Every structure is written in C-alpha cells, then in structure tokens.
Structure 1
Amino acid sequence: MPALNFPPSDPRYLVKIHDSEIRHGKTIASADDDALAPDEQRFYSFYTPALTAGLRTISVSQVVKAPGGSNFTLEGSQDFKITAPRFHIPPADLHSVYPPSGGTFPVKMLPYVVLKDPHLPWERSMGASAPTDQDRVRVPWLALWVFQPGELLLPKIDLLAKSALSETGTVRLKCKDFLNAGAAGLVPTPLKSNPNNPEEEDTEADFIFADIKVFQAFTQTYASDGSSSSPIDMSPYGYLAHVRKVGSSALKAAAASLEDDSFSVVLANRTGPLTAQQPLGKAVVHLVSLEGLDSAFTPAQSSTFVGLCSLYSWTFRYTSQDDQVEFEDALRIIGTPSTGVEFLRPPKEKWMDLVNSSDPIKSRVGKRLRDGYSLTKYRTLSGDETLAVQRGPLIPTTPPINGPLNRNIHLFSSQLQILDSQVGLVDNSYASAWNLGKTQALADEKFLNALVRLRTRIYLRALLQAKSTVMNQEGPKKILDRLISSVDSVLNLSDARKFAKEKWFNEVPPERTECLSLWDSALRTQFKQVASQEASILGNAISGGLYDEANGPVSTDWAVVLAWTLDALYLSNISWQHLLMEPSSLPDNSIRFFYVDPTWLNAYLDGALSVGNHVEGDQDSVRAALKITLQTFLNTVNPALGYIPQIPISGCLIRSSIVSHFPDLSIIADRPAGDTQAPILKRTNLAPDILLVLFDRPLTSVDFPDGIRICQPPHQQAFVASNGKISVDSIDMVYKRISTDPDSSSNVMMERLATVPEPAKPLLHSDYGIVHAKNIAQKAFGYLKDTLKTSFSELAPSATVLALHFSYTLTRLTLPLSAPDPEHPVNGFQLTMLEVQDLHGMGTGYNQREQAVKTSVFSSDENTLPQAQTDTESETVSYPTPRPPYFAPLSKLLLTGPRTYISASTETPTANMPTDTQYVLQVYALGYKSFSDPAGAETRIPRDVDGPLNLVFGLQRKSRPDGASYLLQAVSVHIPSDLSGSSAGLILGYTGPGASMANNIRFMPQIQCPPAAAGTASEVIINLSPRSRTPAENLLKSCETLMNKDLTYVLRQVPINKAASTLNVVFDIIVKEYYGDSQTALTSTARVKLVNIADL
C-alpha cells in the first residue's frame, strides 16, 4: 500500500495514513487476509521462524536422462549459517518493559518485556523433537526472571577477581573468557562455545551468577500437585511467551508504524513477597538466555551458583497496593473529569495577584502572564539589553485577530514587533516567529534550492510576459522615445557620486520616467498579475487540478515547497523552547490544552518564504503569488477526500512518566458522527516525558463528543498472577470469558465467569513466589473447555490462554470538554499576509520623505556638513506607513581598509591628552528637512509636530591633518530638560524606548535623568561608553578617535517642549569628552533652535 511508505517520523504521518485509506476505500491492513477490525488484537502462542539459528546444509540433486537410455545423477550441497542474537538483544528490537525502571509494582503482578521482533523468542531452538499439530507450546530461548538483590552473587574466582556487581547484579565479561571458564569447570553454566560462529564470542556481554537454590526453583520439574523434583524442565516457559498482532487503529492512535503490528511478549513467573515476614523492597529483572538448559545440565552438588547470560535488566520496587500503581496513579494525577480542562499558562499563583492589583501596570503584566507570555531578555540592534514579552505558537486563549499585521507581507522582522504602551515593553512574539521561519528556511538546503528555483522561474516568466504585454500596448513613437531616454541615462552615468557609501544620499527624482523596468507602473501591474497566474499554473498537477501530494506535480520544486510549508503548519522542526516559552506552564504529571496562534504561523511562513527575494527589493510580488497559490490549496476541497486539507488549530501537551514508560500510549479523540476526517493530526514526543498532540478543531464538546481518552496500549497490557486474592496458602482462580471464534461479531467482553479459590501449592511455589505457569494454563483451559463449549475451540493449553487469563483490565482516562463559547468562536486556519505594499507607487510623497530622511544625517566622515536640499514641493504629505529605521552608512575606514598606524600591534596612541575637543555635534529630527548653519554654529528642529520626535545626534570627528589619535574613554551629551514646560528646557524629560547607535557599535549609549541640583537646571544625559568592560588603561585600539570618526546615535520618542515661549529659542547642548584615564572633560557646545516646520 502507498501509505506504508510514510515513516512514523513524518510530521503528517497520521494524516497521510488516513487520507490514503480514504482514497483506496479500505484500511491499510485490509490487503492482509488476517486483517483486524479496529481495536482488535490477535494472539499467537508462538511465532517460530522457518529456520532457527545454527549451521544448515542445502542439498540439490538432479537426474539426467541421456537419449541412449543411460541415466546419471548430479548432486551438490552447500553449508550456510543462520544467525540470531545470542549474547545481546539489538536495541531496536526492545520495545518496552513493565514495570518501568525505578517504578513501583504490586506484589501479585508479573513483570513483562515487549519485543518488536515477533520471532525473536524462538529464533534459537530449545529442543530437537518435532512438535505435533495439536501442540500449542514452543519453548523460547528467552525467559524473564525476577531476583531479590541478595540472590545475585559475586563468586570468589579468578575470572571475577577485578570485577564488581553493577546496580542490577551483572558482571561485564568477554564471552570467550566466560565460556572457557565454564568448559574448565570453574563456572557452572549451560552455555557452551559454538565453533560454527566463533566471532560472536569475541564480544563482551553481561553475565549473572544466580544463587543455586533460586536457580533450581526456576528450573526444576513441578508435578500437577505442586511437588518438585530435580530434573530441569523448561516446558513451563513455553506458556510465558506469546505474540500479539495489534489492529491498525490502535497503532494509529499511538502514531506507530503500521508495518510493525506484531509484538512478542515475555512474562515473568515470579511474584513479590507474599508474607509480612518478607519485606518489600527492590527487585531486579533479567531477560536471561535459556540456551543449554535441559535435563542434561546438572550442576555439581557443591555448586553455590549458576552462571547465565543476561541480555537486558532493570530494577523496580514492590508495593503492597493491589492496583496497577504506575499507570493508574499517573492517570489520576494527570486529571479526572471533575478537574476540568486546564490550558497552557503559568500557575495562578504567578499572575492572579497581579491581575487583581489596583496598579494598572501590574494588572497589565499579570494579564500578559495569564495569556501565556513570558518576560525575556531582548537585545536591541545597537546591542543594548532590555526586557520584552514573548510567547510561542501555543496559546491558552482563543486566537486573536490582528488585522494590521496580517494584511501585508513583511520585509523585516521588526515590522512585526508590537509595543505595549501601557507597560513600555515590546512584544517580540511574531518578530521571533518571522526570524525563526527565515532561519530554518535557510538551514534546509533542499527547501532553499527549490524555493529559489521556483522564484526565479516565476520571476523570469512573469517579467517577460509583462514586458510583452506592455510593449504591445504602446505605439512605435513611445518605444523610440524610451530608447532615446535609455541612451541619455547611460551617458549620465559618469556624473554619479564617486563614493559607494554616498549612494544612499543620491537625489531621488520626484517622478520616475517610464521605462521597461520593474518599477514602471503599467509593467508593475502586469507583472503582479502574471506572477500570480504563473504560480497558480505551477501549483497544478500534471493530470489537471491542484497538486495534492497524491498526484504528479507540474513543478517538482512546488511539491517540495508545498510539503515543507504544510510540515511547518504542523509545527515541524520548531524546537521546544519556542513551543513552550514558559516551563512552569507545563508542570510534572499534567495535561494542558492550547490553541495554535494563526498569526504566529503566518509570520513564520512569511519569514520562510521571504528567502530568495534578490530582485524586487522592498516589494515581493513573487512571495505574494506563492502564498496566494498556497491559500488556494488550503481552501479547496479535495475531491478524492471530500474535505479541505487539515491544519492544526488546537492540541494538548501531556507531561508524565507514562509517556516514556508507554511509548505507544493510545490517545483517542473521536470526531462527530459522519465526519470522515482524521481525528488526530499529529502526536510526537518533545522530550522523553512530554507528548504533543494536535487537532484541527475547537476544544469543545461538539467537536469532541466523547471527549479525549488516554488509554494503555493493548500490547502493553499488564499481567497479574491472580485477579483475586493470593497468599502463601491459597490463590483465587478468576476465570474470564475467552472466545476463540474468529468472527468478531460473536465476540463479547472478557467478563468474569467465576472465582474459584484453590490451594496454593499446585499453582504457586510459596517460598519463592514462583508461579506454576503450566499447571495454571491447564486449569484455565479445562474450565473454559467445560464451560464455554462452542465459543472456545482451543485444542490444548497454550500461551495465549495463560496470557488472557493473567491479563489485567486496561486502564483509561476520559477528559470531557466544555460547550462552545458563542462569544469566542474559533475558526479554521487562514493564510494571511498576502498583500504587497507598493512603496514605489506612492509618488512624490514617498520621494519627499526619502529625501528628507537621507539628508538629515551626516554623509561625510570629516568635519564637513551636507548642504541643505531644496524641495520642489512644500505641502505636508501623509505617508501610509513608516519606513524601516535608517542607519548611517559605514565609515570610510571600513570601506578603504585600515590605516597604516594600526599595522603594527605594538603601536600606541599619542601619549599626550588632546588640548581641544575632537568631535562636533549637530542635532536633527529624523524624517524632517535638515538645516545647518554654513558655519556649523546652529541646527534647527521643528516644534509644531504631533507627538514625540526621533532625534539624530550626529557626533562627527573633526578633521586632523596631523593624523593624531587619542584613546577615547567616554562622551556625555547633556540636553536641557524641564518637566514644567518653561522655556528653560529643550525637552520635557525622557521616558522613551532609548537610544541606539546608528552605525558604530563599538560604543553603547546609556541614558540618565538625574534630579536637578540646587540652583541648576535639570537635564537628560546620554553617555557613550565603550562596549568593552576593559579598564581604560587596557582599552584596545578600537577606542581610539581615529577608529571612531562617527559616533552618531538616534534618541527615539523624544517629547519636545512645545510651549509658546520656546519658539525660535536657541538651546545649548553640552558635549563632554573624556580621554585616557583622565577625569577632566573637554567641553564643547552644540546650538539647537526650535522653529516651526515652515522655517526649517
């Protein structure tokens, strides 16, 4: 079946399996004649391979008849080896053990081990006689033995002189040394050297040395009356191993491979202490090899121990409780129907008091924590550390609708930052998602290559077709004019600015001339339309219609991009620290429900699909075209399935030891009647004890009519020596209805038929708690044969009869969900961020603002100031969106290479301190026309503006013909401030988001607002200090003035003093420079005048 090609590690494994079943009109297992109905199991007493391990010979003979009548025979033979595990179990074959390592366990329950290989217990032969057709028992070569710690010894022999017992009582030895000691009579052991496979004896393995009395209790012959005799009898162990074949629905509920549907189970045959005189405590379980154990093996009378090979071992502790403690207690702790549904958020004690606080800021922070946010460190672009709030895609509330963020595609992650003005913190949730999507797209080479090829194909085809359409719409004269204009443009190239860094300050013409470039309005419109059409074509299947992963794609690159995108919507490759931002939201032994934030997913996809935009710059029509095609796929009903693609919108997280102890834990979440979609979209382990489950519907009783059920996996069902009372004197034989009729319609629940107290001796070795498996199987078989008659047709006692007799009731937890809330509806996932904002289509408004921004910052690294530009338009223009923050160009030093003075590592700056200031300061308002006095004495900033301003403090190093360099310790800028609004202050204090370096990240700005001293005016101080924490005398050359020609920084959201008395007032800003280890400042003054915009 095609679905069998889906590995369980596929993020959409469950959905692909389900869709494949619907397409083929049958279950995956229905091709098998032995297919099981949902939730059924089939038991086999044994599952022997065709050939067991050992040396085998194949012989061939052929009789040849000659035409003359004489015949002759050709014969040939060849030896070959069948290999099987002997001293080690492959880790991949071990599925699970119970009780779990370190767990607790009732005394009357029987440990067991589940193996993925159904043949493994019988891959080595334990007898030469051929069984009859009615024989239902095959003795395995594996057995599970339980020991008390004192029953495993460390004999005083030379072989073990330098050895010590491990926690489970094993000793690590070389197999050859152990076998040689056995052959020499130093260690009584049934294992012998195998000359046909000597290489396996060169490895190391774990061996145990069991007390001889315990060994005899495990192996001696027990009659039907419970009496024992010395000959070794391994036949009871044929009842302690069986095979279970599990139905596909149970495997799907566990997200397990449908190919591995058969498991072999090996039971232990020893209970815990049954008397008060036998203390409860630690027990050790060993999966031992029975190879060589038969009536011929007889340890010497003087032997005190027997050496055996242990293939796997673990420990647990006994408890006096009768229940299946480990699983049932875990379910009780996780939750019961009375506790209701708890969502993924921190404990109430962390936010309840804050929410109820009368302080609005504390209340706001508490509400943020209640909604799943965490306080995180946030480093700004300038390197400053501050706080931010952030949460991942899993949220405890119904998904919010954020219209502005979901409208346009985004060019930078900072466009997705949200400022919480009430608490002054930035919400980085969606910005982080955008960055994460882009990072993971860049890291996935297959996806990256496919996306770039797809983008290139769409871009080239759309551009050519758009040009052709525009050309056909124009007349010959217009085409000729365009060619003449192109020639003029080429001739004017020689007038371009010389320095590459000054390209950012080139004059932007108010209107663009029409040409066949991507920015021509007519061609741009055509390009967008054709790009969407081309992406739609590539999203189709060869056979017609949309490509849906079950048909052949027109573009294999689109198939890769679509698969990666769908996997991303299933939270694939998103690490746990992004999924679970606050660890306290998911405490131990808990289940927490959540919704998936669609805006977070859209931001993640927007960042991923932004990769490869090499041509369009601040527009990305190809990305929008790809997302529109993806939206069409997500909103279109698949005709073969009858529903649209399933996308997760909710889910739950389970954190408990049962997740690690029961890897195939069943999660059942049935849909309403008549709904054929997959009930569970994904389940995966985020950690050994954390399980993530995703659904595609709201968490309501309407969408989950039977609630959510957590059930013990059927092939990990527990076993108990008696479902009634058990003691050293008696044991209750609890007989259950066991049907052998293959017709599932005639099967009924395994209800109790009768409880018959029996003497303990025939069924139990009370001294050691050894269960007489053979006697119990015969008793159960006889009762069922006499009682059920027609519905029980088994011919002889078997391992399956004993397994069902010992089986313990499967434990289940049901979590009911609440009714829908009409005030908070939850809709399916919708792809957003589809629009392209054509910034080049804004006309003169865009150009005017670009010019104002670019001329407001220094363009030279020397003490020369840019001249004021003349605007062609003076009216105020309203811009629809803010541009990304402006950053000053790189200094000329970085473009031209290091100066010669730093070529030698031993060179030091000038020893003397400077006698005059080395920097000049001018202040501008970002986004407004700059003004500077030709003499450099004064700058102007507007006062008649709405809201605060972003001020650019341009600190430029003065030109020095002598090339002297000094060690700069710090720079402080003192801005006059007055909270009262008088004319004494340029600004009204400062409580904004802070300052950031425009270009030079060697220095870091820090803000101080000290109280005014008596008789002095208040001020706001911005200190520029080296980012390095090295003392001044050890500062690197990176702090020399020659290396720091530009110290420009931006102070954001500055409240300007707009009092009437401040109009045309000139304010002095003091600049203090500190050099070397001197505490004496060199002081200069920058003059700033407050004017109206018209006077800039």
Structure 2
Amino acid sequence: MSEREVEFVQYDVPPLRSGTYTVRVEQTVNQAAPNHFPITRQFAVAGERFALDPADVAAVFPPDLANGEYSGALPHVVLTHPTLPWERTSVAGDTAAPWLAVLLFDDADVPEQRTRTAADLIRLDEPITVRGSRATGLGRLPSGTLSYPGINPLDYGERPDQECTTIDLSADLFSRVAPSARDLPYLAHIRRSDTLDVEDTAAAIVDRALVLGNRVPQDDARAHAMLVSLEHLGPLLPADDGTKSAAFGDARAIRLTVLRAWSFTATTMGETFLGLLEQLNAPPEDRARRVSALRLPYREGAAPRPAAVAAAMAAQADGTLDAGGARVLVDNAIGMGYVALGEHLRFAGETVSWYRGPLTPFRVATGVRAPISCPDEANRYNPQTGMFDVSYAAAWQLGQLLALQSSEYAIALYNWRRRIRTARAIAEEQALIGRLLGDALPSVTRRREEHLLAAGDPDEPPRLVTDWLAALRLLNGVPFNYLVADEQMLPPESLRAFHVDRSWLVALLDGACSIGRASTGEQRLDLLAAPVALDRSIAAARGLRPNPRPASNHVNANNEMTGFLLRSQVVSGWSSLGVCGYEDAEMTVEVPKLRMARLSGDVLLCLFDGTVAAVAIHEPPEQLHCGVEGRPGHFTTTLRDVTGRTPGRQLRDPQTRGWATAPVPARADLRTLRVAAAADTVREALNDRFRQGIRTFTSAELALELVKGVVRVEFADV
C-alpha cells in the first residue's frame, strides 16, 4: 500500500481458533508384528474469553465520557490484535462472524454490570470440569436464564472461580439490540494503515481490528456501549428484524460477559474532533486574543511595545527605573518565554531567578560553546537587577544527572575517553621515538602504530554514545517541568508552537558528556572530543525515528528544530493522531518529523527537522468512525467507489449531480440497523447505478461505504 492510504480487510481468521486439539500420528513399517505404531497428543490454543488485557484495546469511539456530535455514529472498539474478533466461534459454520459485538443501551435500559465468576455462566448445579485440571465446582446460573452453551468443560488454564464482568438482559431487550446471525459478519473488519504521521513506532504498517456496533445513539441522551462476548450464541441471536429467537424457549433472560464498557453523549456541543481542534487556544473571558506561543499569559493582556521596552532598559541602566518600567521589563521577559522561579542559593539564602526551557517562542541565537566546566559557568547574571538566568546551568546539570542515571552510556563514554587518551599518548611517544631514532625505529613500535591505525579513528565516538546523545537532543528523558516550567504556559485545550533553543541543547548534551571530566587535562581533551560527539548526535537524531517519512525536497542547513505541544481531549480521545508539518503556509513542502510522543494522557509533543510554518492534524485512519446520515427511519449512506479507478472516492448521482446515496434500513425502533439488509441495498445501488460489478460484498466493503471522511484541521503561521 502507498503512504497515507487505508486498506480495509474483511477478516484475519487465525490458523487455529481457541480450543483443544488432538494430533494423531500413525506409522506402519514393513516388518513382523508389531508393525503399527500410533501416538496421540493433545494441545490447547489459549485465547481471551472472560476478560481482555487493557493493552488489547487500542481505542474506543466515541471516547469514554465524551460529549459531541455523534448523531448517526456507530460506536466501535479498536483492537491491537487483528485476529482477536475471530479467535472464537459465534455462529457455527460462519468463519467471518466475530465472537465479539458492541451493544448500545440508553439510560432507561442499561443493564447493571456485576463481577461474577465463570461458574455463574454455567447452568445451576451442573458439575464443572476443566480440561487438564482437577479443578471442579457447580454451576450457579439461575434457572430461566441462558448463557454460553458449550462453555463447560472450561478450557486449559481457566478456573470455575475465574472472575468476569457480566450483565443480565431480558430476552426481549437482547433481541432488540443484538445483531442477527446475518448481521454479525458485517460488524468486524481490519484496517491496515501506515504509521508515518502518528506517534513513533517501529512498525511501518499496522493492522487494527474494529468491532462495530449496530445501533446509533439517541440525541441529547447518555449512551452506554459494551463490548460483549457472543461465543456459541448464534442460535439465540434475533432475526433480522429483531424478532426473538425460538431457541430461547421458556427462558426469560440471558447473561453475557462484558469485556469493555464506556459511555458518551450525542449532543450538539461541538466536542467532536473538528470542534475541539477549532476551539484550541480560545482566549479566557478576560482576554480578547488567542495565544499560540509557549509562554506565560501577559498580566495586562497585551505585549509591551518595543519603544516602551527600550525606554525601560535605558532607565534601568541609568538607575531611574520606576514600577511601571519594571512591569514592562517583566512582561518583556514573559514574552520571551521566561518564568521567575524561586532558587535556593548555595549558602542557605533564597532568591528569584529567571528560567526558560528549551522550547522558546522565537528563534534564539546560539550563545553557548562546549565544553562547560561547571553549571556556574553557564549562569547569566544581570548586575542591574541582581537576578540570575539559570536556564543553561539547569540544562547542563540535568544532562549530567541523566548521564549518571544511564550506566551503559556512562561506561561507553568512559571507554571512549580512555581510548582517546591512550591513542594520543602512544602517538606522542611514537613521534618522540621517531625524532630520536629516525630510520632505526624498532619494528615493535611500527607494529604498534599499525595496530592503532587498524583500530580506527579514536576520535570517532561509539554508536552507543551518539545514539544516546541523539535521543537526549530530541528531549527524551527530559522531565516535563523542564520543558514547561509553569502550567499556565500550556493550559487545557491549547496548542503551543515553539523553536528549540540550540544553546539549551548544547548545555544539556555537554552536561551529559561531562561525567568523568575531573581535571584540566580532561577539560582540554573535551575541547576536541565533546564537539565531535555533539555534531555526530545531530545526524544520529535524524535517524532515530523508527519509521521516518521518505526523503523530501526540504533542506535544514542550519539544523533548526521547531515543534508544538498539544494539550487537549483530542489527545486522550483519539489515540493515534496524525500530524504533518510544512515549511510554507501553502503546505507544499513537508518538514520531516524527528519525534512524536505522548507525554501524558492529554499532552502530545511533536518535533520537526526544520522550521514549520503550518501544521495539519488529522484523525487516525483506524479510528475513522462508521455511521449513517439522515434522521431515524430515513437513514442513508453516501456511496463510494469500490471497484473503479479511485476506490474510496465519493460518487455523484449521474442525474442530480449531487452525492449518490443508498438507504440504510433499520428495525422497528428506528435506531438499530438491519446491517445485512443495508449491505444488500448498498451493493445493489453500486452495481445498478454505477456498474461496479461487485459479486462478494463483505464487511470491508460495507465499512468503506459507511465510513465518514477524514477530518483534517490546519493551523497556519504557527
């Protein structure tokens, strides 16, 4: 597949589903009896049944506790293992039918979730057995309630007292909301997409399984979605129109295991992907301007004018600075990204010093050279105010502490330094012997010189050192409070653009190179060694991202780094955001990403290899939701090309020239879709009106027809 495309796949049935298997091997030889030798072995394929590991669920949609414009949306679960929905059987003989389903309930009919055990899923007083174990017990499922047939005996590794989350549904409610046996194969598929625009990951292509719901939420009301198991429940599934199955008999209820549950509200409050991003950086009630730079907000709501700053600085120089001028200078420092922090002095005193992290609101000229002997050398002092700027000293000290924390890096750095010292000592000795002996240079010293040459350039730092420094250059391991010194700099629902201060990085990396620098000789050695390591780390940083975008025509000759921090519900609600940066406002030249990482549940950091003028944020391909348009009772979906030259492109009606649509039928409640009937209707419309020639219409094709377009929000002049 090409980049930025999404491929829809019907299913990925594992070679062996969960269960117990028997292997029998027989051999007959040409000899007198005994000449027939059979052997039988059993093995089990263990799979999830009563619970899912949290890591198995990549995301849910709509996000948990979200309020947004989800009218017509089908809730879904994104699973990290692409085979998971098909590892067990729901409808006998149908390999495409998943054993998982998403059921949607309203507040009025949501069932209570209760923690029970596996024994509570087995008929009352039925003896329980476990394959390969002596564990036993008695079933506790009440009479008149059905659950999973064939669950007893339990599989290898399972226990009668194994806990699970369950719900009890009346037979009528289950029949109203559950998919039919014909619907079920259309409600799970796989999406295959690249990882070029998402968070750093080693996989170039990822497959994610999606399990879709079959019911749309009610507007302006809380909806409750539950991922449940339908293992072996095919006979109990309702008819296409929601009619209760005759297999229920006299039973009044059914008990299901719940593997994931969440809730959301379909409203018109704008808390969608688009709505949240459009409201980023909204100004507080007492301010009229949006802020997009990473700095504290001004106290007066406006930046100080350059003329006022120049006048205040002149007054400070001649000792006539008043309170108004001091405020101008403070506001100017805030505009430059500084924060005033309390500092405990070395001799038990306390003061206030300026601090600015590596993420600055403008490009900062490089003013720090390595090596630095100690953090005090990196401090900046203003004698007119008596205040220190401790930014670079803090960076140097942090780099040293992080280096000491990594024993692997520290040992590699020490061995490299020792190799440099040894090579230079031998080189000086060889030169001295050469001057004294000339042509009579002993062969042993010649061999030693040849051995040194064969060992390579001692000044070249080891790969481990350059890679560790490269990761540090990309701010890996730097505590968040060093990046954002005050929470007001990155309030909720904000995007803050920044330049990376190269001087701060020089101080940080030099601090990491300073361990073992205990003498003036080591200081002189690092005058040559440290800059080499810092230079090598620049190139190494460009190769650290596990799945970089192919080379473009972008050039970053000055080794500038820019980026943004995003703090929003978008980060927590959409687990795999896509981000692209461009060097021009027209978005024609893309800037490669160096790092994209989630720093917390709602904070995303993105670093670019160059100066970015515009940023585009788009929904993750595997989380594009499916849904219907229109109102209950009159649902439709916009048709897309399936077999033509442009798969996925929306089709226009040849008569009206508007977007072509097809009806999506629903059950009597007008909200639960008749999914199989919708698949037939869509396929017929594509074949009859657009000559698509579709013979087999699977969950992949239906998902393509129901999927809503990618939302992409662009930010210019960042």
Q: TM-score range by the shorter chain?
A: 0.7 to 0.9
Deviations 1:104-142 (A, max 9, x none): 2433211111111111111002233367xxxxxx11100
2:391 pairs with 397, 409, 429, which one?
429
1:90 is matched with: 53
* d(CA) in 2 for partners of 1:80, 1:259: 34
Establish whether residue 288 from structure 1 lines up as the match of residue 228 from structure 2: yes
Residue of structure 2 equivalent to 1:710 = 617
What residue is the counterpart of 1:1066 in the other structure?
none
1:589 to 475, 493, 496: 493
Tell me the residue number matched to 2:255: 307
Matched, 1:344 2:308: no
Shifted more, 177-186 versus 304-313: the winner is: 177-186
1:609 to partner: Cα distance: 1.0
The answer to whether the Cα contact below 8 Å between 2:650 and 2:659 also exists between their aligned partners in 1 is no
Q: CA deviation at 1:773?
A: 0.7
| Paired position in structure 2 for 1:206 | 165
The verdict on how the C-alpha distance between 1:86 and 1:256 changes in structure 2, with shifts beyond 3 A counting, is same
Map 1:398-797 to 2 at 5 A.
398-402=363-367, 405-406=368-369, 409-467=371-429, 469=431, 537-540=457-460, 558-614=462-518, 616-617=519-520, 620-630=523-533, 633=536, 649-670=561-582, 679-700=592-613, 707-720=614-627, 722-723=628-629, 725-727=630-632, 730-740=633-643, 746-747=646-647, 749-753=649-653, 763-767=665-669, 769-789=671-691, 792-797=692-697
| Aligned residues of 2:412 and 2:462 also touching (Cα < 8 A) | yes
Give the secondary-structure state (helix, strand or coil) at the position aligned to 1:308: strand
Give the match's secondary structure for 1:150: coil
Displacement, 1:83? 1.6
In 2, the alpha carbon distance for the partners of 1:619 and 1:320 equals: 66
How far did residue 190 of structure 1 move?
2.2
Change (3 A) 1:184 1:363: closer
Residue type matched to 2:563 in 1?
G
Corresponding position of 2:442 = none
Q: Deviations over 1:814-852 (max 9, x none)?
A: 12238xxxxxxxxxxxxxxxxxxxxxxxxxxxxxxxxxx
2:353 partner SS: strand
Q: Which position in structure 1 is the counterpart of 2:276? A: 330
Residues 561 and 111 of structure 1: CA distance in aligned 2, closer, same or farther (over 3 Å): same
Residues 178 and 295 of structure 1: is their aligned pair in 2 closer, same or farther, counting only changes over 3 Å? closer
Q: Is the 8 A contact 2:281 2:495 kept in 1?
A: yes
SS of the equivalent of 1:625 reads helix
Counterpart of 1:18 in structure 2 is none
Q: Is the 8 A contact 1:733 1:755 kept in 2?
A: no
- 2:216·2:672 contact (CA, 8 Å) conserved in 1? yes
Contact 1:152 1:210 (8 Å CA) reproduced: no
| Distance in 2 separating the partners of 1:350 and 1:602 | 35
Any conservation in 1 of the 2:637–2:663 contact (CA below 8 Å)? no
1:696 maps to a residue whose letter is D
- Does 2:84 align with 1:120? yes
Identity of aligned residues (%): 24
The question of 1:244 aligning with 2:205 is answered no
- Cα-Cα RMSD: 3.6
Q: CA deviation at 1:383?
A: 1.6
- Which whole-Å deviations, capped at 9, do the CAs of 1:338-392 have from their partners, x for residues lacking one? x998221122336747775873322222111110000111111112111101011
**Corresponding residue SS for 1:361:** helix
Q: Secondary structure at the match of 2:604?
A: strand
1:386 corresponds to which of 351, 356, 361:
351
Q: How many residues align?
A: 645
Shift of 1:145: 0.3
Q: Distance in 2 between matches of 1:257 and 1:341?
A: 35
Task: Give the superposition deviation at 1:463.
Answer: 2.9
Alignment deviations for residues 297-351 of structure 1 (CA, whole Å, 9 cap, x no partner): 8676775542110011011112257x7x421211211269xx9982211223367
Q: Which residue of 2 aligns with 1:75?
A: 38
Q: Distance in 1 between matches of 2:663 and 2:517?
A: 82
- Cα distance, 1:170–1:581 mapped onto 2, change above 3 Å: same
Distance 1:103 1:810 in 2: 19
Secondary structure of the residue aligned to 2:703 is helix
Alignment CA distance shift 1:365-1:756 (3 Å)? closer
Q: TM-score, normalised by structure 2?
A: 0.81
Distance 1:599 1:534 in 2: 37
Contact 2:640 2:705 in 1 (8 A): no
Kindly indicate whether residue 264 of structure 2 is the aligned counterpart of residue 316 of structure 1. yes
For the 8 Å contact 1:376–1:390, the answer to whether it is kept is yes
**Compared with structure 1, are the counterparts of its residues 348 and 732 closer, same or farther at alpha carbon in structure 2 (3 Å cutoff)?**
same
CA shift for structure 1 position 457: 2.1
Tell me, yes or no, if the aligned pair for 2:583 and 2:611 is still in contact at 8 Å: no
In structure 1, the partner of 2:131 is none
Residue 449 of structure 2: aligned partner: none
| Residue type at the aligned position of 1:58 | V
- Cα contact 2:640–2:649 (8 A) shared by 1: yes
Ranked by relative contact order (alpha carbons within 8 Å, sequence separation 6 or more), the top structure is 2
Aligned position for 2:710: 810
TM-score by length of 1: 0.54
Q: Is the 8 A contact 2:578 2:617 kept in 1?
A: yes
Distance 1:579 1:648, change over 3 A: farther
In 2: Cα distance, 1:349 partner to 1:75 partner? 87
Question: 1:691: Cα distance to partner?
Answer: 0.7
C-alpha contact (below 8 Å) 1:188/1:299 kept by paired residues: no
Please tell me whether Structure 1 or Structure 2 has the larger radius of gyration of its CA atoms.
1
The 5 A counterparts of 1:968-1047 are none
Cα pair 1:596 1:649 within 8 Å, conserved: yes
Q: Distance in 2 between matches of 1:676 and 1:63?
A: 71
Match 1:271 to one of 195, 213, 216: 216
Letter in 1 for 2:709: T
**CA shift for structure 1 position 292:** 2.8
Q: What's 2:203 paired with?
A: 258
Name the SS for the 1:310 alignment partner.
Answer: strand
Q: Which amino acid aligns with 2:224?
A: V
Contact 1:409 1:606 in 2 (8 A): yes
Q: Distance in 1 between matches of 2:592 and 2:116?
A: 51
Q: Match for residue 175 of structure 2?
A: 216
- The answer as to whether partners of 1:243 and 1:262 remain within 8 angstroms in 2 is yes
Q: Give, as a single letter, the amino acid of the residue that structure 1 aligns with 2:711.
A: T
Q: CA deviation at 1:812?
A: 0.6
Q: Match of 2:233, SS?
A: coil
Alignment deviations for residues 591-628 of structure 1 (CA, whole Å, 9 cap, x no partner): 111111111111111211111124x3376122222224
**1:130 to 1:213, Cα distance in 2 relative to 1, 3 A:** closer
What is the rounded CA distance, in whole Å, between the counterparts of 2:223 and 2:508 in structure 1? 51
Quote the Cα distance in structure 1 between the aligned partners of 2:203 and 2:247.
46
Q: Distance in 2 between matches of 1:757 and 1:242?
A: 22
Using the alignment, how far apart are the partners of 2:710 and 2:209 within structure 1? 18
- Against the structure 1 CA distance between its residues 46 and 348, is the aligned structure 2 distance closer, same or farther, given a 3 Å change threshold? same
For 2:336, the equivalent position in structure 1 comes to: 371
Aligned partner letter, 2:717: L
Letter in 1 for 2:348: G
Structure 1 pair 561–431 and aligned structure 2 pair: CA distance change class (3 A): same
Cα distance in 2 for residues equivalent to 1:94 and 1:437: 36
User: In the TM superposition, what are the counterparts of 1:1068-1083 in structure 2 within 5 Å?
Assistant: none
* 1:72 to 1:350, Cα distance in 2 relative to 1, 3 A: farther
